[in-house]
């Protein structure tokens, strides 16, 4: 793991549409999503929206695992009062996931 300097800001961009199939394979081979995330995606009426949502959450979990040396397998995220996801354990990082069409 590369250490993250205090106060550092990192910005990552993912072409979710281009990566969705690969992220689906990664999630299928070694599930990371928590049961609440699987349920939320399963409740979506548009299958493409569900695939995109799952891909975004899988990518977020992969990034946090690799960048911060965390084990988040199947652990549900918490949420702050505004609804932003939070890691369910003490962590020195804050993160946000934004959606802009095909990009995260």
What single string gives the DSSP state of each residue in 39-71? HHHHT-S-HHHHHHHHHHHHHHHHHHHHHHT--
In this prediction, residue 89 carries a pLDDT of 67
The model's pTM is 0.80
Mean of all residue pLDDT scores within the chain: 83
For the cut 80, the answer to whether the pLDDT of residue 27 exceeds it is yes
Distance of CA 104 to the CA centre of its chain: 10
Nearest to 53 by CA among 68, 65, 67, 38: 38
Q: Cα-flanking dihedrals φ and ψ of residue 14, to 5°?
A: -125, 130
In this prediction, residue 66 carries a pLDDT of 84
Nearest to 97 by CA among 16, 4, 6, 3: 16
In this prediction, residue 35 carries a pLDDT of 92
């Amino acid at each position: 793991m590369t250490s993250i300097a205090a106060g550092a800001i990192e910005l990552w961009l993912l072409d979710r549409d281009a990566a969705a199939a690969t992220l689906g394979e990664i999630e299928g081979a070694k599930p990371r999503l928590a049961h609440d995330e699987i349920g939320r995606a399963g409740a979506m009426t548009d299958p493409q929206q569900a695939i995109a949502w799952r891909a975004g959450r899988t990518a977020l979990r992969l990034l946090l695992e690799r960048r911060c040396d965390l084990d988040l397998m199947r652990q549900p995220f918490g949420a702050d009062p505004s609804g932003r996801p939070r890691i369910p354990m003490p962590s020195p990082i804050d993160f946000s996931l934004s959606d802009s069409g095909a990009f995260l």
